[in-house]
Homo-oligomer: A and B are copies of this chain.
Amino acid sequence: MGEIAALAMNMTWKCGLAELPFGGAKGGVAVDPGTLSHNELERLTRRYTAEILPIIGPTKDIPAPDLGTNPQIMAWIMDTYSMAQGYTIPSVVTGKPVIIGGSLGREEATGFGVAYVTEDALRRFKRYSDTVRVVIQGFGNVGSYTALKLGDMGIKVVAVNDVYGGIYNPNGLPVEELLRTVREKGKVGDYKGGDKVTNEELLTLECDVLIPAALGRVITKDNAPGLRCGMVVEGANGPTTAEADDILRERNIPVIPDILANAGGLIVSYFEWVQGLQEYFWSREAVHDELKKRMKSTFVRVADYAEKENVPMRLAALMLGIRQVSRAKKLRGLYP
C-alpha cells in the first residue's frame, strides 16, 4: 500500500511539472502476470476493471499501463469498460494498441524525450559541439529510441550495453545498423563494430553525457566518484541514489532528473487521451512535434527555476511540480 501511494504521489508531481490536466493515482492486482495463461489474464483484467468501474472513466480516472501491463491488457480494460457503457470509449485508458485508439509515436516517446532534453541540456550548459559523445546504459525501448533520435540530431552515441555487456566505439556507433543487429541476433554484444566493454566499464567511460536508461539505483556512492561524464540525463526511473546525487552535485556534474527527462511517455499518454476524447487521431509527426515542444519548454522552465532559486535541477523540477498542483488546489479551494 505504501509503495503504491508513493508512486501515486510521484505521478502527481510529474503531471504537475509537465502541466498536464492529470492527477496521479495508482492501483493494481497483486499477481505475477507471467504465471497466468492468456485466458486467465483476460479474465483477471476484466474482473479488476469491473470492480473499479465506478471510479474510472474518460473524464474521471484514466488507467495507463505500468510494469506488468501491456497494450493487450489495456485493450481488455477499454473493452470491458466500453461494454458496460454500451459503446466504445477509447479515452478511458491509455497505452492501447494503435488500431483501437492508441497513439502513434507512443512507443518511441520516452526515448525521443530523453534525446530532446539531452540536446537542450548540452546547449544550456554550453557543452554542445560537433564532438559530443554520449554513453547510454541500456538498449531497450528507452535506450534504443534515445540513441536513434540522438543520431538524427547528429550527436554521437559512443557506447551502449545490455545485460550481457556493452560495446564502445569512440567515433560513434551507427545506431540504426546496431539496432537492426540487436533485433535480429538478440544482444548488443553481437554487433561487431566496436570494442567490448563490461557494464561496469561503460558507466565510467569518458563522455559528455551519460544516460542511464535501464534500471534504478545504478549510479551509487561507489561509482559516482569515478564517473567521467559531463552530465547525467536520467532516462530510467531513479537511476541515481541519494548519496550519488550528492557526490555528483559536489563534482559539479549536472543531473537532468528522471521526472523531467523521461516524461515523454507520460506526455504521449496524455496525447492519446486527448485524441480519444476528440475521436480524432494525430499523425506520428504531429505527436513528435508536440512532444518536442513540451519537453523543451519544460526543460527551460526547470533550468530557469533552478538557476533563479540556485537549487539542483532535481529539486527545481520537484518544486515546480508541487507548485503547479498547490496553486490549482488553492484556487479551487477545499470543498466540501
- In this assembly, does A29 line the interface, its C-beta being within 8 Å of a C-beta of chain B? no
B333–A76 CB distance below 8 A: yes
A336–B80 CB distance below 8 A: yes
A90–B327 CB distance below 8 A: no
Q: Which of A1-27 contact B (CB under 8 A)?
A: 1, 21
Contacts of A280 in B (CB 8 A): 274, 278
Interface magnitude class on chain A: 35 or more
Q: Can you report 19 residue pairs joining A to B where beta carbons are below 8 Å apart? A: A1-B1, A43-B336, A54-B54, A55-B55, A57-B87, A61-B87, A75-B333, A76-B332, A76-B335, A78-B332, A79-B335, A80-B335, A80-B336, A83-B84, A99-B328, A100-B331, A100-B332, A274-B279, A335-B336
- In this assembly, does A324 line the interface, its C-beta being within 8 Å of a C-beta of chain B? yes
- In this assembly, does A149 line the interface, its C-beta being within 8 Å of a C-beta of chain B? no
Q: Is the interface of A mostly helix, strand, loop or mixed?
A: helix
Q: How many copies does the complex hold?
A: 6
Contacts of A53 in B (CB 8 A): 86
- In this assembly, does A263 line the interface, its C-beta being within 8 Å of a C-beta of chain B? no
The 9 closest A-B pairs by CB, nearest first: A46-B336, A79-B332, A60-B87, A75-B331, A54-B54, A274-B280, A84-B84, A100-B328, A50-B336
Residues on A lying within 8 angstroms of B by beta carbon are 1, 21, 42-43, 46-47, 49-50, 53-55, 57, 59-61, 71-72, 75-76, 78-80, 83-84, 86-90, 97, 99-101, 273-274, 277-281, 324, 327-328, 331-336
B99–A86 CB distance below 8 A: no
CB nearest neighbor in B for A97:
B331
User: Knowing that A79-B333, A99-B327 are A-B contacts, what are 16 other residue pairs whose CB atoms are under 8 Å apart, sorted by A's residue number?
Assistant: A21-B101, A21-B279, A21-B281, A47-B336, A50-B335, A54-B54, A54-B55, A59-B87, A59-B88, A72-B331, A75-B331, A76-B333, A76-B335, A84-B84, A274-B279, A278-B278
Pick the residue among B86, B88, B89, B333 that contacts A42 (CB under 8 A).
B333
Nearest chain B CB to A119's CB is how many angstroms away? 21
CB nearest neighbor in B for A48:
B336
How far apart sit A273 and B101, CA to CA, in the bound complex (Å)? 16
CB nearest neighbor in B for A79:
B332
B21–A90 CB distance below 8 A: yes
B331–A54 CB distance below 8 A: no
Name, among A49, A88, A332, the residue most crowded by chain B CB atoms within 10 Å (CB to CB): A332
How far apart sit A209 and B157, CA to CA, in the bound complex (Å)? 53
Nearest chain B CB to A64's CB is how many angstroms away? 15
Nearest chain B CB to A14's CB is how many angstroms away? 17
Nearest chain B CB to A39's CB is how many angstroms away? 10
